[in-house]
Each structure stands twice: as C-alpha cells, then as structure tokens.
C-alpha cells in the first residue's frame, strides 16, 4: 500500500499529556494585583533585533509583558549602534499598543549581545527606571543575560513561563514539560522572568497600531562603566547560509532522528523540506552523532518550536525532545517502531520505513511556488 495513502488513514488522537500542578485558583489570602495597585506595575522588555526589525521571539516577550501590565506601560530596551538600531527602535515603537516607551542604548560594545555587557546594562537601566518586571525570551539570549542580571540585582528569576495568571503568579513546565507548576513570585522587586515565545500570541502590527508610535529615548550611558565589563569578547559569527525558513519561526518543520542513520540520509529530509518550504530540525541523538550541526536541535536543550505542522521522521520521542515540540498545532510521526513514544503525542502516525516514505512524499508533493 502506498505510504502516502497510509499516512492519510493513520490517525492517532492521543493529545499532549500535560498534568497541571496546583490547578486551583490562588487563595483569598493572596489577592491578585488589581485596581489602584496595578498602576505600580511597569515592565521592561529586553529585546533583540536583526536587520532593522525586532525579532519575532522578542515580539512574543512584548505580548507577555502586555498580559502582565494592563495599564499599557511597557518599556522596550534595545542595544547596539547605527542605522539598524534606529530602524529597530522605530519598529518597536509601533509594534504593539502596550509599548509606552522604547529605550535605545547606543554603544559599539552592545552591537553583539555579550552576556556580561548586557547584564550590566540591565542593572544600570533598572536602577534608573525601577521597573516592577523585567521580561525576555527563553532563548540563548535570554538564558545568557537574565541570570547574570538577576544576580547583579540580587533577585531570583522565574524561567520558562508559559502562562501569566497574575502579575506575580505564573505557570511553567517541569519534568521536561510533562507537568505544569504554578509559581508565585514572593521576592523583592523586580520580578525577572523568561517566557516561552511559543506560548504567547505574536502582536499584530496593524495600520491602527502603526499610526501611534511610542516615544524613543536614548539611555544616558555617560556613567556606564564599559571598562569593567569585558571578561569575554566577541570574535565572530559562523552561520550556514540557507534559503529555508528559520527553525524557530517556521510554519512547517521536518525533523529527523537517529533513524536516518547518517548525514548523507539527512539530505533526503532537506529535499522534502524544500518541497514543503519547511525548516529542518533534528533530535539530540542525531546532533550528537554528527549528522547535522547543533543549531538544528529541537528539544529541552535545543530550540523550542510550535509550528503549524511538525513532521518527525525516525524520531523515537524521548521526553527531552517532546519538551521542544509538543505545542505544535499538528504533529505527524513516521517510525517503523509501532511502540515509539512519539506516537503518543502525534495527531497522525504512520508505522513504516522512512526510507520508503520520504522518497514517495518527495515524488508526489508539488514543488513549492
């Protein structure tokens, strides 16, 4: 029977098994911040930019800040220099109605996001602005900067937030995403956190929001001590040129696991990705085996993705991998092992040899226009 025909008929309805810890609402002893107290909530978003635009992951952080701050008092902090920084500041000023101010730290030392430099900048800006919340994305930038900045400010950060119930009540995954816990931040200010960009809806830049731009201000760096910062220095950026979409933002992701057996076989997956206009991902086992570079790794220790379609070929479904893709809208799994854990979270599953399925899909799918 043709593999594609089998794929259409094999439907698995076992949805993502999340079990919530502390699902009950907070007690009356700890009321949420509402009414007159909400005016004291002010949020600083640490944003990344590239090519004159705020990155999509940082737009998600702005959306999360809007949930925290109902009073539309969100400040976006951008660092760098030159024309790209000015264009990114203009984009940030109009990307969301909750953005009330854009702070621009214009300095050559901030062009590359070194953790030590940015942590000192956050500490510097916080002492000037006294923000109640500091938010960034749970990616390499956020995981690098926020813990260092939190140490300088002597607070404990909350990481990997997937839902904001109240300004100081958050939900985050534990046990590699197999359970959710409710966390109340009871420390002194500021409340610092990283959010999963896949859990917050990206703000839409409509014509209405673009017509009202937030003011853009320069951070006064005259007293910012650059000389005490550089314990590390930027050398170079090495990246692979590809016409495929970025893995973190792609609508379709095709991922290969150890079942592909070699780097040469991954080229089959790349051909399929070209047909679908998809990004290519990999499991940690495939990365450790040297099949693909580690920037393609999806999982708890790799990238967290939530595309509209996620296709997994030869992926067993280890818990660490599921933590990075289980929020995908539709999951399709192809594996010759009928007992593979990946089938427990898949919407569509096919028990078949991937080396027969992939060539057939490549043959029958139309070329991407």
Known binding site for FAD: residues?
A: 258, 283-284, 297-301, 314-321, 335
Helix axes 115-129, 140-153, angle to 10 degrees: 50
Closest CA relative to residue 58, chosen from 152, 136, 163:
136
Q: Is 203 exposed, middle or buried (0-12, 13-18, 19+ CB in 10 A)?
A: middle
CB 311 within 8 A of CB 332: yes
Sequence-ordered list of residues with C-beta below 8 angstroms from that of 331, at least 6 positions apart, any chain = 310, 312, 325, 345, 346, 347, 348
Q: Strand 133-137: give its sheet, edge to edge.
A: 158-161, 191-195, 133-137, 43-46, 74-80, 99-106, 216-218
Whether the upstream peptide bond of residue 190 has omega within 30° of 0, thus cis, is: yes
Structure-block tokens of residue 355: 């080396």
Q: Is 122 exposed, middle or buried (0-12, 13-18, 19+ CB in 10 A)?
A: buried
Give alpha helix (H) positions in the chain. Answer: 3-9, 56-68, 82-94, 115-129, 140-153, 207-211, 263-276, 284-288, 319-322, 354-364
CB 362 within 8 A of CB 275: yes
Residues of each annotated binding site: 258, 283-284, 297-301, 314-321, 335
d(CA 212, CA 169): 31
Strands 279-282 and 330-334: unpaired
d(CA 93, CA 34): 26
d(CA 146, CA 142): 6
CB 173 within 8 A of CB 15: no
Strands 163-166 and 169-174: antiparallel
């Amino acid at each position: 029977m043709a593999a594609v025909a089998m794929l259409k008929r094999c439907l698995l309805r076992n949805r993502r098994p999340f079990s919530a810890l502390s699902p009950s609402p907070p007690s009356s002893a700890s009321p949420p911040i509402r009414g007159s107290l909400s005016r004291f909530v002010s949020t600083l978003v640490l944003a990344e930019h590239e090519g004159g635009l705020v990155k999509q992951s940082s737009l998600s952080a702005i959306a999360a800040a809007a949930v925290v701050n109902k009073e539309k008092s969100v400040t976006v902090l951008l660092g760098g220099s030159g024309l790209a920084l000015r264009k990114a500041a203009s984009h940030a000023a109009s990307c969301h109605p909750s953005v009330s101010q854009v702070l621009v730290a214009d300095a050559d030392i901030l062009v590359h996001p070194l953790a030590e430099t940015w942590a000192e900048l956050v500490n510097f800006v916080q002492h000037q602005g006294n923000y109640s919340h500091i938010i960034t994305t749970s990616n390499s930038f956020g995981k690098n900067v926020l813990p260092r900045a939190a140490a300088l400010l002597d607070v404990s950060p909350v990481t990997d937030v997937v839902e904001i119930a109240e300004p100081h009540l958050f939900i985050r995954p534990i046990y590699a995403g197999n359970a959710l816990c409710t966390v109340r931040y009871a420390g002194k200010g500021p409340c610092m956190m990283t959010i999963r960009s896949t859990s917050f809806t990206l703000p839409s830049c409509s014509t209405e929001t673009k017509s009202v731009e937030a003011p853009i201000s320069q951070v006064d760096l005259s007293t910012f001590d650059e000389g005490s910062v550089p314990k590390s220095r930027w050398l170079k950026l090495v990246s692979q040129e590809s016409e495929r979409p970025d893995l973190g933002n792609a609508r379709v992701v095709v991922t290969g696991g150890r079942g592909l057996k070699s780097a040469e076989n991954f080229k089959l997956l790349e051909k399929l990705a070209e047909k679908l206009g998809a990004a290519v991902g990999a499991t940690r086992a495939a990365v450790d085996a040297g099949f693909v570079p580690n920037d393609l790794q999806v999982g708890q220790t790799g990238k967290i993705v939530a595309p509209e379609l996620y296709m997994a070929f030869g992926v067993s479904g280890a818990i660490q991998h599921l933590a990075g893709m289980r929020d995908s809208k539709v999951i399709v799994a192809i594996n010759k092992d009928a007992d593979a854990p990946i089938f427990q979270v898949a919407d569509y599953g096919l028990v078949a040899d991937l080396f027969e399925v992939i060539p057939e899909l490549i043959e029958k799918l139309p070329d991407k226009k």
